[in-house]
Chains A and B, each alone.
Chain A
Amino acid sequence: MKKIMHILFLSCKKATEMIEKKLNFKLSWYEKIQLEGHKMMCSACKNYEKQSKLIDIGIAKSKEKDFSQEDINQLKKLINDKLPNIN
């Protein structure tokens, strides 16, 4: 039974790979059916998909910027020190 399920509806390894494909690209209609079929029978992969999406949102949220003017001034000085050597 499990073997048939793997062939028709993917292994968990393949199903989670398809979930990542789905989040970044598009699935073919066949892959879609396979993945949906798999998730109907596998709560672990269903959890995986939910959590993978959640992690994505979390990463998007965590992207903040903070830097000081002092950093910038130091950087300017560093660059200017290097520039004359080139010309």
Chain B
Amino acid sequence: MGNNKTVDLTELVDQYTDDLYSWAFYKVSDAEVAKDLVQDTFLAAAEKISSFKGKSSSKTWLFAILKNKITDYYRKKVIQSVSVDQEHFSSYFNEKGDWRREKMPKDWQEKEEHLLDDINFQRLLEECLNALPESWNTAVKLKYLLSKKGEEICQELDISPTNYWQIIHRAKLQLRDCIETNWVKD
């Protein structure tokens, strides 16, 4: 009996690891995290295999487990960043809430589409994203990673909308500032 289970799962691993991994990678855009999630999925599947009645296909079953793992992963991540410290804001705004002179967003002078096609700009954006604290980085990418709207994300991750846009606000301030500071036109 025990042997049978092992054989079945091994087959599933062989058959579905590719699909599960590419989906996980697409959702988290981090190879190591995606690998861990797929691994956790099969470990959870091994534990639950006796309750798998074959009502759905094994593929659907595995994807459902993976989807929960991904949501859990994001929930943990985003919850880490929920407390909004005022200190961070004070480097951008004075006590009245006006921009500090040196931090005022300047006009970038260039057409949007030029910037977006500029390989140097793309590289800089990537660098500035990586320079963010990890949970902020995740928060700004979340709607693209999950391809969901704000409300759905908050529901799924069980955070309040106010918290969500405040995290984004904080992350975007830093991201924008990083780009402006480091963007040198040749």
Contact = CB atoms under 8 A, between A and B. Distances in A.
A87 B93 contact: no
Nearest to A77: B13
A4 interface: no
18 contacts: A6-B97, A11-B96, A17-B166, A17-B169, A21-B165, A24-B149, A43-B107, A47-B106, A47-B108, A50-B112, A51-B108, A52-B172, A59-B141, A61-B116, A71-B21, A71-B31, A75-B35, A80-B10
Contacts of A84: 6
Nearest to B112: A54
Nearest to A25: B150
B121 interface: yes
A76 B42 CA distance: 10
A24 B148 CA distance: 10
Contacts of A45: 99, 105
B93 A59 contact: no
A84 B89 CA distance: 51
Given A6-B96, A87-B6, 12 more contacts: A6-B97, A13-B89, A13-B97, A24-B143, A24-B150, A43-B107, A44-B99, A55-B140, A59-B125, A72-B17, A79-B17, A82-B43
B104 to A, nearest CB: 4
B52 interface: no
B61 interface: no
Contact of B93 (A11, A78, A83): A11
A87 B49 CA distance: 10
A36 interface: no
Q: Sorted from nearest, which 10 A-B pairs have the closest CB atoms?
A: A11-B97, A24-B150, A13-B97, A47-B105, A44-B104, A13-B93, A86-B46, A20-B169, A48-B105, A21-B165
Given A84-B6, A87-B2, A76 B39 contact: no
A72 B92 CA distance: 44
Interface string B72-112: 00000000000000000100110011110000111110001
B63 interface: no
User: Interface residues of B: mostly helix, strand, loop or mixed?
Assistant: helix
A63 B175 CA distance: 17
A78 B17 CA distance: 11
Contacts of A78: 35, 39
Interface string B152-186: 00000000010011101100110110011000000
A28 interface: no
B115 to A, nearest CB: 7
